[in-house]
Protein backbone atom coordinates (compact mmCIF):
# COMPACT_ATOMS: atom_id res chain seq x y z
CA UNK A 1 0.00 0.00 0.00
CA UNK A 2 1.24 3.49 -0.80
CA UNK A 3 -0.06 7.01 -0.66
CA UNK A 4 -0.53 9.15 -3.74
CA UNK A 5 0.44 12.78 -4.17
CA UNK A 6 -2.90 14.24 -5.24
CA UNK A 7 -2.45 18.02 -4.92
CA UNK A 8 -0.01 20.76 -4.10
CA UNK A 9 -1.51 23.55 -1.98
CA UNK A 10 -0.41 27.16 -2.40
CA UNK A 11 -1.40 29.80 0.15
CA UNK A 12 -1.94 33.19 -1.49
CA UNK A 13 -3.79 36.50 -1.27
CA UNK A 14 -5.70 36.18 -4.55
CA UNK A 15 -6.46 32.56 -5.50
CA UNK A 16 -8.31 33.54 -8.70
CA UNK A 17 -5.42 35.63 -10.00
CA UNK A 18 -2.73 33.11 -9.13
CA UNK A 19 -4.76 30.19 -10.50
CA UNK A 20 -5.27 32.11 -13.75
CA UNK A 21 -1.50 32.75 -14.00
CA UNK A 22 -0.51 29.13 -13.34
CA UNK A 23 -3.26 27.82 -15.66
CA UNK A 24 -1.67 29.82 -18.47
CA UNK A 25 1.86 28.74 -17.49
CA UNK A 26 0.96 25.04 -17.48
CA UNK A 27 -1.82 24.94 -20.06
CA UNK A 28 -4.16 23.57 -17.39
CA UNK A 29 -7.74 24.53 -16.57
CA UNK A 30 -9.72 25.39 -13.46
CA UNK A 31 -11.33 22.17 -12.28
CA UNK A 32 -12.95 23.37 -9.04
CA UNK A 33 -13.87 26.49 -7.09
CA UNK A 34 -15.08 26.21 -3.51
CA UNK A 35 -15.24 28.72 -0.65
CA UNK A 36 -12.61 31.06 -2.10
CA UNK A 37 -10.25 28.28 -3.20
CA UNK A 38 -9.42 27.52 -6.82
CA UNK A 39 -8.03 24.20 -8.07
CA UNK A 40 -6.32 23.73 -11.42
CA UNK A 41 -5.25 20.54 -13.12
CA UNK A 42 -4.43 18.73 -16.30
CA UNK A 43 -7.13 16.15 -15.59
CA UNK A 44 -10.46 15.84 -13.78
CA UNK A 45 -9.85 13.81 -10.62
CA UNK A 46 -12.18 10.88 -10.12
CA UNK A 47 -12.05 8.11 -7.54
CA UNK A 48 -11.53 5.56 -10.32
CA UNK A 49 -8.59 7.47 -11.89
CA UNK A 50 -7.03 8.07 -8.47
CA UNK A 51 -7.16 4.38 -7.57
CA UNK A 52 -6.06 3.14 -11.01
CA UNK A 53 -2.68 4.88 -11.26
CA UNK A 54 -0.51 7.79 -10.22
CA UNK A 55 -1.66 10.94 -11.98
CA UNK A 56 -0.15 14.40 -12.04
CA UNK A 57 -1.14 16.31 -8.89
CA UNK A 58 -3.51 19.23 -9.10
CA UNK A 59 -2.65 22.64 -7.63
CA UNK A 60 -5.02 24.14 -5.08
CA UNK A 61 -4.80 27.87 -4.34
CA UNK A 62 -6.17 28.83 -0.92
CA UNK A 63 -6.57 32.29 0.57
CA UNK A 64 -4.29 33.16 3.48
CA UNK A 65 -4.07 36.51 5.31
CA UNK A 66 -0.30 36.71 5.69
CA UNK A 67 2.08 37.73 2.93
CA UNK A 68 5.21 35.95 1.78
CA UNK A 69 8.13 37.07 3.94
CA UNK A 70 10.99 34.68 3.13
CA UNK A 71 12.14 32.40 0.33
CA UNK A 72 9.71 29.60 -0.60
CA UNK A 73 10.31 26.29 1.15
CA UNK A 74 8.85 24.58 -1.92
CA UNK A 75 8.84 25.84 -5.48
CA UNK A 76 7.74 24.55 -8.84
CA UNK A 77 10.02 23.89 -11.81
CA UNK A 78 8.69 24.10 -15.36
CA UNK A 79 10.28 23.15 -18.66
CA UNK A 80 9.21 24.27 -22.14
CA UNK A 81 7.53 21.64 -24.28
CA UNK A 82 8.38 23.52 -27.47
CA UNK A 83 10.91 26.25 -28.06
CA UNK A 84 13.90 27.32 -26.03
CA UNK A 85 14.18 28.14 -22.36
CA UNK A 86 14.48 31.82 -23.25
CA UNK A 87 11.31 31.62 -25.42
CA UNK A 88 9.47 30.18 -22.41
CA UNK A 89 10.89 32.85 -20.09
CA UNK A 90 9.71 35.56 -22.51
CA UNK A 91 6.20 34.01 -22.58
CA UNK A 92 6.04 33.80 -18.78
CA UNK A 93 7.22 37.39 -18.35
CA UNK A 94 4.37 38.47 -20.63
CA UNK A 95 1.94 36.57 -18.37
CA UNK A 96 3.11 38.53 -15.31
CA UNK A 97 6.19 36.71 -14.01
CA UNK A 98 9.27 38.72 -13.04
CA UNK A 99 12.96 37.81 -13.14
CA UNK A 100 14.82 37.21 -9.89
CA UNK A 101 18.20 37.91 -11.55
CA UNK A 102 18.75 40.14 -14.55
CA UNK A 103 22.16 38.63 -15.25
CA UNK A 104 22.09 34.89 -15.89
CA UNK A 105 25.32 33.08 -14.89
CA UNK A 106 26.83 31.39 -17.96
CA UNK A 107 26.98 27.95 -16.31
CA UNK A 108 23.38 28.04 -14.99
CA UNK A 109 20.91 26.05 -17.13
CA UNK A 110 17.77 27.40 -15.45
CA UNK A 111 16.15 30.81 -14.96
CA UNK A 112 14.59 31.83 -11.64
CA UNK A 113 11.34 33.80 -11.91
CA UNK A 114 8.64 34.99 -9.51
CA UNK A 115 4.91 34.54 -10.01
CA UNK A 116 2.51 37.48 -9.41
CA UNK A 117 2.64 36.88 -5.62
CA UNK A 118 6.47 36.72 -5.52
CA UNK A 119 6.78 32.92 -5.24
CA UNK A 120 10.01 31.79 -6.87
CA UNK A 121 9.94 29.12 -9.56
CA UNK A 122 12.45 27.91 -12.13
CA UNK A 123 12.30 27.49 -15.87
CA UNK A 124 14.57 24.57 -16.71
CA UNK A 125 16.21 23.76 -20.02
CA UNK A 126 14.12 22.05 -22.65
CA UNK A 127 14.04 18.35 -21.70
CA UNK A 128 14.90 17.07 -25.18
CA UNK A 129 18.26 18.86 -25.27
Separation between Cα atoms, residue 49 and residue 55, nearest integer Å: 8
Q: Is the pTM of this model over 0.95?
A: no
| Alpha carbon separation from 112 to 44, 98, 115 (Å, rounded) | 30, 9, 10
* Average pLDDT estimate for 66-79: 84
Sheet with 37-41, edge to edge strand ranges: 7-12, 58-63, 37-41, 29-34
pLDDT at 127: 67
CA torsion, ordered 10, 16, 20, 25, to nearest 10 deg: -10
pLDDT at 119: 93
Report the relative pairing of strands 120-123 and 77-78 from DSSP bridges.
parallel
* Average pLDDT estimate for 76-87: 89
Instruction: Assess whether pLDDT exceeds 70 at residue 129.
Output: no
pLDDT at 48: 81
Amino acid sequence: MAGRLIEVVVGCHDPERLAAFWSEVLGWKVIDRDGGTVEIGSWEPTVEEFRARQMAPTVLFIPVPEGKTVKNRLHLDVSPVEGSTEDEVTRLLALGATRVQEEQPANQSWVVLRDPEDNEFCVLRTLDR
